[in-house]
Structures are given as C-alpha cells and as structure tokens.
Structure 1
C-alpha cells in the first residue's frame, strides 16, 4: 500500500512505549499495533488527531505516501486514440 504509517518513528523520537501511547490516545495496544505495523485499512481523524496531540506532531509526521513500484511498459502497441 502506498500510504506508510511512521508511528514507530515518532515513538522512538519521543522515547515513548506503545503501551503508553495507546493509553494516552485511548485505543487498545492491539489496535495501535495494527496501525504501527501498516496493516490498518483506515484511521479515524479523531484517532489521528489524538496521536498528533500526544506525540506533539503533525499528521504528515505520521503518514507519508510512497508510490508503488513503477509500471512496466506493455509489449503491446498502444491503441490509436486519435480516430
């Protein structure tokens, strides 16, 4: 997935444990682990706001976009779209 969650980076910078962050944010350590390990399909803005408040950071410090691997060109000739 092209969205990468860097909660672990901010935890290290703040010298905070996962358990402490989960407690302060008000989510379970298991749900925080899902987010931290990149298995989350979505995150609520309220959760993101709470993470930013506790970690004293911006959403961009926690989330970043990485493009997928480049698309390989096809062996087929492109269709003529001018007709």
Structure 2
C-alpha cells in the first residue's frame, strides 16, 4: 500500500533558470521586476524556485523583458528512480 504523499508525488521537477537568463542578459532582478510590474520579493521567490506555480501572464512578461522563451526559464528534470520501474 502506498501513502497518499507517494501517490501525489510528481515524477520529476521543474528547475527555474531565471537567474541564468538574468546573468546572460546582464540584467538586474530589481530592474526586471520593475519593468514587468512584479515586486522584487516575488521575483526573488520565483528565481529561487520557492513558488508552487507561475501565471502565464507573468511568464509572458518575463520572456518579453528577457527576450527569451519559457523553455529558457524553466527546465523539466525527470526522476530517474521513477523511470527505472
């Protein structure tokens, strides 16, 4: 029998690469936050991956500000343990 937490476990994780894009574009988080109408605190939480989700309109504004695609900001990493079953 599996526990409910195991049943709800996701097969992998999403890695937020916002810090990488900021560095590649030579942009400061503070400036991008102001440009897209987001608080620095919320952008910092997103950058650190400590959020449960991101709105599509926020993702669109980030992509526009950084001239990138969602795939440049988010990366899916599968769980090798799950794949081996």
Q: Shorter-chain TM-score: what band?
A: 0.7 to 0.9
SS, match of residue 66 in structure 1: strand
Report the counterpart of residue 50 of structure 1 in structure 2.
61
What 5-or-longer segments of structure 1 have no aligned partner? 74-83
- Please identify the structure whose Cα radius of gyration is greater: 1
Aligned length: 73
Q: What TM-score do you get using the length of structure 2 for normalisation?
A: 0.79
What 5-or-longer segments of structure 2 have no aligned partner? 1-11
Q: Which of 29, 37, 40 is the matching residue for 1:26? A: 37
Aligned-residue RMSD, C-alpha: 1.4
Which structure's residues are more often strand, by fraction? Answer: 2
Report the alpha carbon displacement of residue 68 of structure 1 after superposing the two structures with TM.
2.7
CA distance in 2, matches of 1:2, 1:69: 11
SS, match of residue 45 in structure 2: helix
Which structure's residues are more often helix, by fraction? Answer: 2
The 5 A counterparts of 1:4-43 are 4-43=15-54
Stretches of 4+ aligned residues off by more than 3 angstroms: none
Q: What TM-score do you get using the length of structure 1 for normalisation?
A: 0.81
